């Protein structure tokens, strides 16, 4: 138990569906992240939220839409996805430290997404 909870753990959706991934952290951290892990590829940063403000969008297609309503919750809204978007989506949180540093990352278990 890392203190970061993701739901659902598994999701299968069609290309025309709209779904959302949810992440909740119970650690009092002030930064939250979405990462994507595709088969045979390194983890890729998608979005960073710090103090509920999006501070990083790593050239992610608009069919992925993040939302951070408060410092404990992070969503990833999905619509009109493609089969190549099938991957493990990992949420993480950290306590942002000094300007050029970050605290240790705490990851959720991930949401495995399959797009048919």
* Residue from the set 13, 65, 86, 106 that interacts with other proteins by CB under 8 A: 106
Strand partners, 19: 78
Does position 31 interact with other proteins (CB under 8 A)? The reply is: yes
Does position 27 interact with other proteins (CB under 8 A)? The reply is: no
Residue 10, phi then psi, degrees to nearest 5: -135, 140
Per-residue binding letters, 47-76, with other proteins (x by CB under 8 A) = -x-x----xx--------------------
HSE at residue 43, side-chain half, CA atoms within 13 A, is 12
The C-alpha atoms of residue 23 and residue 86 are separated, in whole angstroms, by: 18
Closer CB to other proteins, 72 or 102, in the complex? 102
């Amino acid at each position: 138990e890392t203190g970061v909870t993701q739901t659902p753990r598994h999701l299968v959706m069609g290309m025309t569906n709209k779904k959302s991934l949810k992440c909740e952290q119970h650690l009092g951290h002030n930064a939250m992240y979405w990462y994507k892990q595709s088969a045979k590829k390194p983890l890729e940063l998608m979005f960073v939220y710090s103090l509920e403000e999006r501070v990083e969008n790593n050239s992610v297609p608009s069919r992925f839409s993040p939302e951070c309503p408060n410092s404990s919750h992070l969503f990833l809204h999905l619509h009109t996805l493609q089969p190549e978007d099938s991957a493990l989506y990992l949420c993480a949180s950290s306590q942002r430290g000094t300007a050029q540093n970050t605290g240790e990352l705490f990851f959720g278990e991930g949401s495995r997404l399959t797009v048919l």
